[in-house]
Each structure stands twice: as structure tokens, then as C-alpha cells.
Amino acid sequence: MDGPPFWASPYKHRRTGRRATCGRPYGEDVTTTVREAKRALRERILARRRDLDATALASAASRLRDVVLGLPEVAAASTVATYVSVGREPGTGPLVEALSDDGVDVLLPVLLPGGDVDWARYTGPQHLVPAARGLLEPDGERLGPAAVTAAPVLLVPGLAVDRRGHRLGRGGGSYDRVLARVLGSTTPVFTCVLLHDGEVLDIPVPREPHDVPVDAVATPSGVHRLR
């Protein structure tokens, strides 16, 4: 596992039968439990990320670039869908620039009202503009939410992932939609979450029925194939 464990004990499912006496389906209680477990795990990981300094983040971003570029799926791809990191996320700036310099068609997300994701081509840092939620987005032509299915590689953000590929996001649901879209694509898409060292968990990530697992995780220390 990457780095020392920092997470809480695994959440416990409440396995139930027909209906609760209060009139709510027991399934709603299970869903609430999973969401609470996700929230608690997010808080722990975000607190840990807040301790990362700028020097460590810059070094990790360079190492992450080299790790991702070493993936055979990325080396063979003419198009890669990825994202612009913000805050203390694993840095993607060096990776985006390297892909673009290599002639790869880089697609970046554009958040839509309602939480779905459109896509636009990366054409240089001067064409990244501030957007909602503190994000940076490309200012070029919108290609439509389905454009991601044309990319053989999709690199997604996250907070953690377990050994079966179950990813913990920030809770907005945008990348759940993106992953579901590529899962239903007629052409295979290699999906990889980018994380810091120490965010690959040996315990199960709490998950809901709509959560779609990823194929791999890349950290500054290397790649783990999942599932």
C-alpha cells in the first residue's frame, strides 16, 4: 500500500429486511449509512491533504507526470481526457503540458449547470479561465458530454480508491456521470484515478449502486491495476 494508513475503521452495512417501522424503506437507512461513511472518509483525507506544502506538491506533480506517461494505454493514445487540478489535488499541470507537447489531443472538463460535464480541447494555459467551484476550464469550443467516449484514456480526480477500483470522489456526482457514460461506450476506455501516495486503501471504499469502479490508480510512486 502507498504510505501509512490514516483512515477510520470500515463502515458497517446494516442488513435489513422489508420496511422500517417508521414507514421508510430500510434501504434508505443503508444509503444514509454509506453516505455518512463517505463523508467521514472525505474529511479525513482532506485534512491530510491540507498538511501538504507547496514544495511537496510540486515534486509529486512531476513524478505523477512521469508515472502516467509511462502507462502503455497513455503512450498509445492520440486523445486523453483529463482535468486541471486545483488546490491540493495531485498536480496535473506538468502532465497536461507534456501530453500537449507530445501532440496528444487533450480534452478537459467544463462543468455544466446541474452537475454534468461537457468537454473542450486544451489549447494552452492562456486559454484556461476561472469557473465555478474554484475550477479552471478551457475557453474553447464545447464538444458535448459524449465527447469523452472518443478518448481511449480517461484520467479522473478523486480522494481515495480501494483495491477493487471503487473510487471516493467529492460527492458532487459529476464524475459518476462521466464514468457511467464511458462504461456504456461502444469502444473501450481505460479509466484511471490520480491520487496522492497513501490514498490507495486496503479497506473497502463505501459505495452506492451508481458508483462505477475505475481500472487503475496512478500516484507519484507508481501504478496499481485494480479489479
pLDDT one digit per residue (tens) for the chain, 227 residues: 444 444 443 333 333 333 333 344 434 455 679 899 999 999 999 999 999 999 999 999 999 999 999 999 999 999 999 999 999 999 999 999 999 999 999 999 999 999 999 999 999 999 999 998 889 999 999 999 999 999 999 999 999 999 999 999 998 999 999 999 999 999 999 999 999 999 999 999 999 888 999 999 999 999 999 97
169 is in an annotated binding site: yes
124 is in an annotated binding site: no
19: DSSP letter: B
89 is in an annotated binding site: yes
42 is in an annotated binding site: yes
The C-alpha cell at 30 is 443503508
Considering only CA atoms, which of 167, 90, 172 is closest in space to residue 133? 172
> Domain residue spans in the chain?
26-225
Helix (H, G, I), strand (E, B) or coil at 2: coil
First to last CA, the chain: 15
> For the chain, how many residues are written?
227
CA distances in angstroms from 152 to 7, 32, 191, listed in the order given? 33, 35, 9
171 is in an annotated binding site: yes
Fold exhibited by the domain 26-225: Rossmann fold (3.40.50)
Please give the helix or strand (H or E) that residue 80 lies within, else none: strand 79-81
Considering only CA atoms, which of 209, 165, 217, 204 is closest in space to residue 41? 204
